[in-house]
Structure 1
Amino acid sequence: MTTTALRVQFGRSDEACFSGFVYDPKDLTRRLVLELLLDGVPVRIARADAYAPELASESIGDGCYGFSFALTPELIADSHVAEIRLANGHEAVGPSIKLDAADESISDSRGPGGIEWLGGVRFRGWVRCAPAESPMVRAIVDGEPVAEARASNFTHVGGIDNANLVKAFDLHLPREYADGRVRRVHFVTEDELQLTTTPLTFVAFPDKVEDFFASFGEIESERLRGRMLDRLLPASAPFNSYESWRDRWDIRRHGQESCERPTAVVLIAGGDEELSLQSLDEGKHKGWVAATLPPLEGPGTFDPLELREFLAHEAADAEIVVFAHAGTLFDVFALQRLSEGFAAVSQARLVYGDLEVCDENGRRWPLALPAFDYERMLEQGYCTQLFAIKRASVEAALEAYPTNLYRMFNCHFDGDDPAVHSQVVHVPCALGCAPQLDLTVHGRLLAQASLTHLAARGTSAKTAPQRGTQMPSARVTRKLKRRSLTIIIPVRNRRTLLQTCLSSIAPAVADAGAQILIVDNDSSDADMITYLETLQRRGTEVLAVPGPFNFARLNNLAVDACASDDILLLNNDIRAMDAAWLAEMQSRLAEADVGAVGALLVWPSGMVQHAGVALGPSFAAQHIGNDRLASDPGYGDMLRIARECGAVTGACLLTRRSDYIAVGGLDEVRFPVNFNDVDYCLKLRSQGKRIIWTPAARLYHHESASRGRDQFGDKASRFERELRNLRSKWGEHLLEDPYYNPNLSLDAVPFSALAWPPRVRAPRVNVPPAAVQLPPGF
């Protein structure tokens, strides 16, 4: 096919951006890949698969043949001509653009925005506008506006290297449109800009698909179909509808007197204790006695001797002791649910639940918390705002002389008994509304309590208070133990990527005394081959691994070839932001029960690419934070504190070589390219290891820059096969991730909406996952 047979539009959108569309009129299924050239030199590559409103209005295929290139002003400053050609081709397509001409711009073919259906009645979209603007977007059904949302967030469009930062919005239609009928919806801005040339078609089911199908009769096959659709087409509700959501899915139960136990409530002075006592009076649990402990050394502290006196006299009959800050508004079933937590887990030692927080207008918002997360306890004390302890455990804890709630909780982990972790129970429903705390004061208390605890464990570390927005925050840095390290970087061509990566990580590599092992997978570019030879002469080891690209196999062979204590899997499209990232990751691996450590990865646009992996959304594994800027604190401040998570990405993953070998490394057969990192982390967790993500290790990631995206083109079938394998092997755990709350939605963006309906909200503990062993061929 000649390039003259293509229909092409190419122009300059603004000073440093170019856009257009290209398609083959004789084969509308093709998605062409283009190179942008400046003065004849290729500088960017992009797939022409973006939505182009002009083509959609002409009914050209599905309208998705657009492309865009976003450059820096510095890159085009000394250039004169821009043109495009088919990737690996020789002939330019479309017009060339003279960059020094007075006006070579055209209308932006990328359109004013875009919309994506996330399942249920939830939609996510973007609008092209000035960064300071936040336009309102309206959803139109049958000619009537039914919902609106302001585009006040950020996202990017145009691929990774060609990313354009745009304003984003999240919009839910009213629940009445979840009626099982096929619906069509338009989206327009307040200025009447059409974001959808043709209406989006969707279908949403009432409450649960499983219940909807069950209404057809007692047919097991229909219920099974509904259960699967619940996983694949999850429904959600926005956080700003929390109060109505809570009323709709209220699990407050009567007739649970058998779970009630005599309870002592200890309030730490600093807030309005009368509000707390009033809420306890209004509760369903009547067998309680309360005391407010005055400050010992300032706000947030108490005298352990006064607590001992209270337990010996007024609370002599109490079996359970509940701790909270004065001013906490207890849910009417809070004490009962805490009792249920102890009843559900016979060995339970501590029980905590979710919280609510109030804004300045008194509106309540949900803090849906994970099952027990030791690392997050140290850096945020997230589970210490409202919790319960068995009386005997409180009396034992008093021997450590705790003077604040952070120390009262973490002193139970002063020993080396790993069984204690499984004795912490999480009740996944809101037990109360937390009062406003002085986060500066409490950050200092948390930092000191974590330091005292680590010292009691014999762990050499330092702590420092940090700035939280919803909860206290502290940074924990363990003392590094000098261990040998090999950094493994698979490559195939793309010298510039590798050169940038190596240059950026050089200071950290030198500080760590690490070795670098380049795994070359059939590089054919002469420039790359010469560069690899130069690296070898300078002492960098290069391992040649020919054959089809198999990320798991490349890393497995590299691990076999090295003999270091630890290994770091690193993509060649990574660029370090500073020299401290590697030491931070190594400090997290200092704990013997940590299996892998991941970092904060940021796209060049400033959006978060990876802040850990959540299991369950889309019945798969999704990166956390893709809807946030790197400066955003995240839901519950989770982007600012180190924490455990279901998995971390293999793009930057630190682990022990012995652990890697013990679990069989990455699975070359079932997960050659996708999800091998998730599977690896789950295998580690099945052995009792923890997976840690830390925001203090910060790097840029040009995700899939060297080999493209796996959800498109010829790679799509492989991606789907590997996703099926993930679901088959770890399916039950995908819906029961201890680090993902059952009240949160399972649609594609984790930690961004409420589940409709919530999943099972029984008391839970953080236990290792178990895989389903798949026979060959399945």
Structure 2
Amino acid sequence: MFYTALRRPKLAAEALYWRLTGKKARARNRLRACLEQGPNAYRDWIALVERRPEMLAKAAQDWPEWPVRPRISVLVYHAPGESTADVERRIAALEAQTYGEWEMVLAQSREAMPTRTPVVPRLTLVPGRTDNPAKALMQGIEGATGDYVLPLGADVLLAPDALYHLAKAVVANPEAAALYGDEDRISRKGLRSHPWFKPRWNPDLFLAHDYLSTACLIRREDALATPPIHPALSAAGLYAMLINITAQAEVVHVPRVIAHRQAVGAHDPDTLAARAAAVAHHVAPLGASTRIGAHGTVAVDWPMPEMQPLVSIIIPTRDQVQFLRKCVTGVLNGTRYRNIEILIIDNGSVEAETLDYFARVSGNPRVRVIRQDAPFNWSALNNLGAREARGEYLCLLNNDIEIMDENWLSTMVRQVVRRGVGAVGAKLLYPDGTIQHAGVVIGLGQAAGHAHRFQRNGDPGYFARAHVPHRVSAVTGACMLVGKALFHQVGGLDETGFAVAFNDVDLCLKLQAAGYHNIYEPRAVLIHHESKSRARDTHATQVERYRRELALLQERWGTATYVDPLHHPALDPTSETYRIAL
């Protein structure tokens, strides 16, 4: 770690300065940035946290004592164009496995040359040869004798403790139909980089981004029960199979780096097209369609109801008419979704320009101005709007939101009308184009934080996560769409406990506890001039109130020790950027 700090002397000097001036928290943050953002951070993590040699020694003593030892069939396909040397590298990684209850099932393309005889517990050679990877996959599954199968990707080397961790997870989760782990990249010289610490199972994320296929374990009986893979999906046959299997079954994440990918380049257009086709086949019965998304992902366009529901857009405000006017004008004139009403909840505005604007805008039949003279309480203002709303859905919208995409509300409505959906949140950008909100991660800073904050919107970021719709624990109330009935079902916003901060988080967690899932929808993009119309929580007049609300959040939802399903134990729980924890 000392070497890593030396590679970033500016950050190290800043950390020292803040330490000497008594700013200990700020010094720790700069030192953490110095350590974790350097080129050797992952190398430090491997040595200090993963500690694989110790794990291998423990595993070798552990698994023989298990009362149940699931048998794993590793499927290896010698694909067209793959050299014998590359296949033998994959085999060598298999031979190093510390877990012993497994077999290797080898399928070969027509042009595959013979390899050396693997030193494995059991070897099965698939009869015949095929150049079709989907056919090879099914032949391998049919020829396997294990309880679970692991289709090994052509560019994947298994970590020596991979099968141990997967088998251990099977023992702990016998009902799981699919299990998967984390991955990284590995060079020809064996140097590891670019770790992908994955989230727990997230069905919407999986439709957008295949984060299972690199190294996943599938219960063999479930694999045999899947429908035949259509020839058009051959390039993504395993992905198509997993979509089918995981639609109803239990899926378990194993938070260990179990796979090392040797070649990760540009997205293969044939594979990406096959993935999009596999998703399209799955969502077509629901009336949805697909297209290629950003950064090698698949975008699902969910259907719009034939009768578009009325959406009540609730905008609390107090003066600051320059922001409010731009927000309301954008909603009225820059939003394609037309079945709306706007409820402006005026929290004691006094400026003449603001009052004059209210008088004029309330002449629009789709706009109502409701006065509420009381100390600022964001929850109470929105609850008032919810009681007055005529719409089937409520859109909570801050007055400092600027509309930049006419389809923002249509995109969110398509999500919120889906079965089982609670709240839907948009991607919010700062005026400089960096990300302000891309979903809320519970537990960050022992409270809650915005994922991917300050990431440039055009950058892929952490495995394109900020650019694909997926389930999240919470979304910000600065732009949130939720069913009115659901809102009232869970008690609305807590105006006693969370007058200003964390009320949106609390609402989303109540929806989640009631069995609904919240969705982050990045294709709805707006600009947020954050908190321009009120004092920040760190202001001297707000700190005491903020601390009370933080304490309540931690007490009610356990956020001080919470590990969000979208986050990972190996990621820094104090950072809104996805960086390694050391």
TM-score with structure 2 length normalisation?
Answer: 0.85
Q: Matched residues in 2 for 1:437 and 1:604: separation?
A: 33
2:270 corresponds in structure 1 to 441
2:123 corresponds in structure 1 to none
Q: Matched residues in 2 for 1:377 and 1:304: separation?
A: 20
Matched, 1:289 2:104: yes
Cα deviation for residue 260 of structure 1 reads 3.9
1:226-245 pair list within 5 angstroms: 237-238=36-37, 240=39, 241-245=41-45
Q: Matched residues in 1 for 2:337 and 2:253: separation?
A: 41
Residues 712/531 of structure 1: CA separation in 2 closer, same or farther (3 Å cut): same
1:626-705 pair list within 5 angstroms: 626-705=453-532
Matched, 1:309 2:309: no
Matched, 1:478 2:337: no
Residues 349/636 of structure 1: CA separation in 2 closer, same or farther (3 Å cut): same
1:212-361 pair list within 5 angstroms: 237-238=36-37, 240=39, 241-249=41-49, 250=51, 251-252=55-56, 253-255=59-61, 256-257=63-64, 258=66, 260-267=69-76, 269=79, 272-286=86-100, 287-292=102-107, 302=132, 304-313=134-143, 315=144, 317-358=145-186
Q: Matched residues in 1 for 2:34 and 2:15: separation?
A: 20
Q: Matched residues in 2 for 1:389 and 1:738: separation?
A: 21
| CA displacement 1:312-348 (0-9 Å, x = unmatched) | 33x1x21101123212010111112111222112321
1:504 corresponds in structure 2 to 330
Matched, 1:149 2:5: no
| CA displacement 1:47-89 (0-9 Å, x = unmatched) | xxxxxxxxxxxxxxxxxxxxxxxxxxxxxxxxxxxxxxxxxxx
SS in 2 for 1:408: helix
Q: Matched residues in 2 for 1:197 and 1:265: separation?
A: 52
Residues 305/651 of structure 1: CA separation in 2 closer, same or farther (3 Å cut): same
Alignment-mate amino acid for residue 371 of structure 2? A
Farther-moved stretch of structure 1 (570-579 vs 625-634):
625-634
Q: Matched residues in 1 for 2:535 and 2:334: separation?
A: 28
Alignment-mate amino acid for residue 275 of structure 2? L
1:368 corresponds in structure 2 to 197
Whether contact under 8 Å (1:235, 1:747) holds in the other structure is no
Whether contact under 8 Å (1:617, 1:750) holds in the other structure is no
Residues 734/602 of structure 1: CA separation in 2 closer, same or farther (3 Å cut): farther
Cα deviation for residue 413 of structure 1 reads 4.5
| CA displacement 1:685-707 (0-9 Å, x = unmatched) | 11221111122111110000011
SS in 2 for 1:332: coil
1:409 corresponds in structure 2 to 242
RMSD: 3.1
Residues 203/718 of structure 1: CA separation in 2 closer, same or farther (3 Å cut): closer
Whether contact under 8 Å (1:380, 1:446) holds in the other structure is no
| CA displacement 1:550-596 (0-9 Å, x = unmatched) | 11111111111113221111001000112121111112223211111
Whether contact under 8 Å (2:391, 2:484) holds in the other structure is yes
Cα deviation for residue 614 of structure 1 reads 1.2
Whether contact under 8 Å (2:75, 2:141) holds in the other structure is no
Cα deviation for residue 235 of structure 1 reads 12
Residues 716/611 of structure 1: CA separation in 2 closer, same or farther (3 Å cut): same
Alignment-mate amino acid for residue 568 of structure 2? N
Matched, 1:428 2:242: no
Matched, 1:393 2:234: no
Residues 267/693 of structure 1: CA separation in 2 closer, same or farther (3 Å cut): farther
Cα deviation for residue 629 of structure 1 reads 1.6
Cα deviation for residue 512 of structure 1 reads 3.6
Matched, 1:492 2:314: no
- Among candidates 340, 348, 363, match of residue 522 of structure 1: 348
Q: Matched residues in 1 for 2:134 and 2:483: separation?
A: 41
SS in 2 for 1:254: helix
Alignment-mate amino acid for residue 499 of structure 1? R
SS in 1 for 2:240: helix
Whether contact under 8 Å (1:675, 1:723) holds in the other structure is yes
Matched, 1:709 2:523: no
Residues 394/334 of structure 1: CA separation in 2 closer, same or farther (3 Å cut): same
Q: Matched residues in 2 for 1:635 and 1:308: separation?
A: 33
SS in 2 for 1:747: coil
Q: Greater share of strand residues, 1 or 2?
A: 1
1:769 corresponds in structure 2 to none
Cα deviation for residue 669 of structure 1 reads 1.0
Q: Greater share of helix residues, 1 or 2?
A: 2
Whether contact under 8 Å (1:632, 1:639) holds in the other structure is no
- Among candidates 373, 387, 390, match of residue 546 of structure 1: 373
Whether contact under 8 Å (1:639, 1:695) holds in the other structure is yes
Alignment-mate amino acid for residue 327 of structure 1? D
SS in 1 for 2:406: coil
| CA displacement 1:472-522 (0-9 Å, x = unmatched) | 411111111122211111111111111111222334545342111111111
SS in 2 for 1:674: coil
Residues 587/274 of structure 1: CA separation in 2 closer, same or farther (3 Å cut): farther
Q: Matched residues in 1 for 2:224 and 2:334: separation?
A: 46
Whether contact under 8 Å (2:497, 2:552) holds in the other structure is yes
Q: Matched residues in 1 for 2:48 and 2:19: separation?
A: 36
Q: Matched residues in 2 for 1:517 and 1:466: separation?
A: 35
SS in 2 for 1:511: coil
Q: Matched residues in 1 for 2:177 and 2:297: separation?
A: 25
2:122 corresponds in structure 1 to none
Q: Matched residues in 1 for 2:319 and 2:520: separation?
A: 30
SS in 2 for 1:735: coil
| CA displacement 1:647-691 (0-9 Å, x = unmatched) | 110000111111111111111111111000001111111122111
Q: Matched residues in 2 for 1:204 and 1:548: separation?
A: 33
Q: Matched residues in 2 for 1:604 and 1:498: separation?
A: 16
SS in 2 for 1:649: coil
Percent of aligned positions that are identical: 28
Residues 373/547 of structure 1: CA separation in 2 closer, same or farther (3 Å cut): same
Alignment-mate amino acid for residue 490 of structure 2? V
Q: Matched residues in 2 for 1:668 and 1:565: separation?
A: 22
| CA displacement 1:226-283 (0-9 Å, x = unmatched) | xxx9xxx999744732123123222443321336422122346476433222211111
1:743 corresponds in structure 2 to 570
Q: Matched residues in 2 for 1:650 and 1:668: separation?
A: 14
Cα deviation for residue 354 of structure 1 reads 0.8
Unaligned runs of 5+ in 1: 1-120, 123-137, 140-145, 152-170, 174-184, 189-194, 206-228, 296-300, 757-778
| CA displacement 1:337-377 (0-9 Å, x = unmatched) | 11122211232111011111247995422111100111110
Whether contact under 8 Å (1:508, 1:582) holds in the other structure is no
Whether contact under 8 Å (1:461, 1:476) holds in the other structure is yes
Unaligned runs of 5+ in 2: 111-130
TM-score with structure 1 length normalisation?
Answer: 0.64
SS in 2 for 1:714: coil
Whether contact under 8 Å (2:412, 2:524) holds in the other structure is yes
Greater RCO structure (CA 8 Å; 6+ sep): 2
